[in-house]
Structure formats: C-alpha cells, structure tokens
Structure 1
Amino acid sequence: MKQAFMSHEGLIFTLMFTLIFIVTNLIMIDYRGLQSLITNMDPFTILTMGAILTYLYKNSKITFSRNKNLFLIVWGLYILSIFASMLVENHFAWTEAIIWILLSVMFLYKIPLELIMYITAGALISLPSLLMADITLNESGSTLVLVFAAGLIFMPKTNRAMMWYVLPSLALLVIITTSRTAMLVYLLVTVAQFAYINIYRTNKKQRKNFLIAMGIFMLAPLILFSRQLYSYFIQGSFGGAGVDLDRLTSGRWDPWQTVIANSRWFGQGHDYVDFTHLLHVHNIVFDTLGRYGILTMVLFIALLCLTVLISIFSTRSFNITLFLIAFILTGMFEYNYLFMFVYFSPVVLFFVITGFIINQKDFRS
C-alpha cells in the first residue's frame, strides 16, 4: 500500500482527486456563493471520469466474466431506459449522456485496487473542507459517513487503529451536521466494523469482552440521555392522532407521495420536483422514479441488488459490502444519485467500487 502511494503516479492521481473533491465540497456547502457560479456538477464528473479512464487505459485492460456480463446486461438496459426517458419526455442532456457513456466504458475495464486507494485517500483528505460551511448541512454529514465507510476497506482490522480513525471522524461529524440519517448510519457502520473485528474468527474470551463492552456502550447513553435521544430522533412525530410521517421524515413523506402519485413509465424529466423548495426528494429510488420513470426505477433497484449480491458471494469483502449498504441506507433518506450539488466524492467511490466488484472473484488486500 505504501509503495502504491509513494509512486509518482500514485501521488499525482491522489492529488488530482483531492483537489477535485475539495472544490466540489466547497460548491456543495455553497462556500461564498459558489453555487451561483456553477450550473451543475457534470463538468467535474466528466473531468473525474477522464482521469479514471486515463489511469485504466495505462494500468488495466478490458475483461469479461459471468458476473460482469450479467451486470453489464442490466446496466445496458438501465442506460437505454434513461436515454428513452430523456427522449420521450424531451429533457435530453448531452453532458449527462456523456457521463453515462464514460461510466459504461469504465465498467469494461478491470478496476485495480490501487485506483480505489487513490480516490478514497483523496476523498478523506478533502473532508476538512466541509468545516468551511456557514451552517450545518445534511449533505456534509452524509458525505463524511460514506467516505468514512469507504476508508474502512483499507483500515487495519484492529481496535486501536479503529479508535484513531473513529474519534476524529466522529468529532468532525458532530461539528458539520445534525442529520439523523448521517448519525444513525455512522453508528451502524462503526458498530458493524467493531463487531467484525472482535467477533469474526476470534476466541471466545474476546467475543465475550466485546459484547459486554458494546452492551455498556449502547445502554449507557440510552439510560442517561433517553429523553434527549427520543426528542432528537422522533422529533415529536408520535401523538394522540397517531404518527405524523411527514414530521418523522423531516418533510420527506409528502414529496415521496407526490412522486408516487405522479409516476409515469418514462418519468417527468429533470424538473419533476419544485427545486425552489427542494434540491431533491431525499431518496435515490423516488428520485429515479420521478426523473426517469417506472422502468428505470425497476432496473435501478435491480442494479443495486445485483451489486450487493455480487459483493457478498464473489468478493467476500465485509467492508465493501458494508460501504454498499451504507450507500443504500443513506440513499433512502438523504442521498441524490448523481446530478445535483451534493455528494460528489461518494458517488465517484460508489461507481469505482462497483466496477471493482464486478471484476473480482475474490477480494485480496
């Protein structure tokens, strides 16, 4: 790993991804009104894909396998449905089409593990730029959590290393966001990683000590701060009239219902939601449904499920699967898929890690 980073190529690509992610983070948090100068993130995505394809052209080759062929078939149908939607509903965007084509070319290559290392390192180094936001943002918290989860792929599987990794990232998370989704997914990822370290292939004594320590760690806050935690996560959504789902989901329920009620086979186009009030509907599935339609949504869900299944049964990497689960869970409440002012580095990581998954029969660190 050290040799890969210290190479001339490794330093150049890590620096390149770091700079791109810092700039896109600053746009995401609207630092000094940067968003007013940028129409969308497509140019940055094309630039990043260009760097990735340059690396792959030099260091990899096009390969095929059973899992990869299956993925490419579903991916091809997914892309065709997106193009059909854009043509039928008259919202075709050339920059978006170029990105889908570049992603398709990327999936043909065998993704080297070193490329994921460079992108992950760049994403981690760029995280402090989120501190420059004037206000706390859900997007900042979710970006941190997903980059944090990707970083676990390369972390030493020891409790000491995890503590040095968790404590500063938790402090940064508390500072930059109050997002319930980010907090819960971060907690889930952290607990899952500690459980993996202390339960999988360990002796009985270590497993027992871990379960006791984790029980104390989980129960103590619930007992000491039960009222505050209830107020923070439930936010008064339970009452005599029942459950206020819109309040429980922080205003997401009504937009979700609107998207479902207005769903079409080929979607409603890029302006399916009133963007003066919402950047997106805070859900990758409903965003796909509203923008591209029922056919694309079904294929999108199939792609997510297929990617997770290949990760579980082919790569056999706990941390890669954990990242995918974190990505999907975040996407149910916070995450817009690709073409907005949010979540740039996690999206790049998702596609590159997906490309790595479909090319591997067994994950080797």
Structure 2
Amino acid sequence: MNHQTIKIAQKIGLKPVYRRFFEKADGRDLLLYGYAPHAEDPLPEQGADIAKGGELRWHPLRREWNVFAAHRQNRTYKPSSSTNPLAPSEPGKPATEIPFTDFELAVFENKFTSFHPDAPIAPVIDGVKTDAAKGRCEVVVYTPESSGSLATIGQERRRLLIAAWIDRYQALFEMGCKYVLPFESRGDEVGVTLHHPHGQIYGFPFVPKPQADALRAFEEGFDLAADIERFSTRFAVVDAGPMQAICMPYARFPFETWICPKERCAGPWDMSEEALDGFANLLGEITRRYDEYFQRATAYMLGLHAMPTDGPKNFHFTAQFYPILRAPDRVKFLASVEQHTGVMTVDVMPEQAADILRAQ
C-alpha cells in the first residue's frame, strides 16, 4: 500500500503541519493535512476506471482555450446525506472518497476531472486547433462535518486550509502547471452539486485569458498597492493587520469583495505569519458578513488570483469573492448582454456595498 506521512514546509505559528499521502484503490491521490500525523488504517475501497481529463479546443474569435470533458455529465449530483462522497467513511458501508473514519482536511484528485497529467491526445478536427487537456483538478474538503462554511470552521482550520493551498501551489507548479487556481463555488445558484464544505484547485496547462490580461496590466506598470491605499477609506470593509477586504470601485459583481495584502506579494506562499493570520481571518469574516446581510448561506464564487509560474515582480495577489446575489431575495443573473459582450451591469454601487458590509 502506497502511503507516507511527512511534515510539510509550512508551519502555523510554532505548530507543524503534517501531510499524509495515500493512493486510492482506483489510483488517484488522496492527501490528508492536519496538525497531528494521520495514522488510521483505511477501510476497504472499490477500484474503478477513471476518466483522464478531456480535450482543449481553441476559440478563434474569443482567442481562448476551452476544455471539453463530456464524462463530467455523469458526476455526482446532490446526493443524500447517507451517500455524501465527501464525508468520512463508516465501517460496514461503501467507502466514500475518503476511506477513513476521521480526518482534519483532505485533498484528492477529482474523479470527474477536466484536466489530467495523462490526458489523452486530442482528436484531429479539420479547421479546429486542439490539444490534450493536461493539468490537474483536485477537491479540497475543509472538514469532516457535512455542514459549515469558511465563517464557521474556525481560524485554526482556515490556517490549515491556507497551508494546504500553499503546498498544492508548489506541487502543481512542479508538475508543470502554468497557472493554479484554488477556488470555492458555494450555493445552488452557482451550480453547486455537493453541499459538504469544500473547494477545488485547478492546475492549468496555460494561463487563462483573464489572468493573462491581468499579467499584462502589471507588466505595463499597474500598481494595485496604490489603488488599495487610494480606495481604503471609502471602499474598505474591514482590515486584519497587513490584509484588507475592499469592494473595489471597478467591481463586476454586486457586493464583490477582494482580500488584498496592503503590500505587494505574489501569492500566499509569499506572506508573513501576520499576513497569513489576517488572510485566514478575512476569509471567515467576509463570508460571515455576506451571510449576515443576505440572511442565508450566500451563493458566491471565490478565487485566489496568484502569480503564475512566470510573472512580473510587481504582481499583486488577491482573493476575490463574487457573490451571485444582489439583494437578500434576488439573484444576480448573467443575462444575454453580459454573456455575449462580457460587459457587466452592476446593480449595487461598490461604495454602497462597502457601507453595507462594514455595518454587519
């Protein structure tokens, strides 16, 4: 059986963080992160053939790659609590994705992956530029509990999550991924099919277009730190030491909020201990404020925008929340104009959003 437990480079204060590697019966990787070594024996699993990614096709008018992965049509859809694939396994029952009765935080290769290191050669289509969808897709399970959020899992668990993110950034860059995006989709309105608290990580074989555009802006001299300082009074929501949550005046979604280091850094791996504490605090605090204002579990899309493998020295990391609600009982739909042109109509002024979130 292929498994190994080591201390990873990241520490949380003086506490070491441990990572256990375990190879699942179907060959996929499972990584268990925690403040204590994980030594439990696994429960029996069933092996199965796993699809190894999709294919890339180039859109000549939008000038972007898109991934086609038809096998994802069969992915798990809103299972009952008794068949939750992200829960710990129970003796005498079919194993979940995590064949252990307990864990702190888990990361595993997505069974219904879009990208894979061994993605098949893309078919030849006359007149269409294609490529193999090489890369990696991982699921990050925040907690063994079936309910909760970034606001409720607590500061220690949020710090553990960030430590796992940093470890995965390093691993995926070493695998050859050009861009790495940890993200969380939350809520039915976003299309979430599993409500157990979790996020994902995609390792791309290219830098996606929005991130490539941001890179060009930094290469041309854009100074995000100056913007953060300039907007900090009118648009800020809350500070946490060297980190700040702010509703940028050029936000594209109602109540869009960025968590930013006040001083430039490339990614979470580049942060001080104080900044990591502040980052973890704000991940919970912004989620709490959303839920307080909307009086529900807020549907949002969270993404960490870190520097790719090769970027300018002035690149500035942000974690960006895009809520999909514009009022407590109103969804912000992306309608025809926004989908066809990319021009967003923002129903709530960012300065108003900042005022509302500050008050929560």
Greater fraction helix: 1
Higher strand share: 2
Q: TM-score, normalised by structure 1?
A: 0.24
Greater RCO, CA 8 A, separation 6+:
1
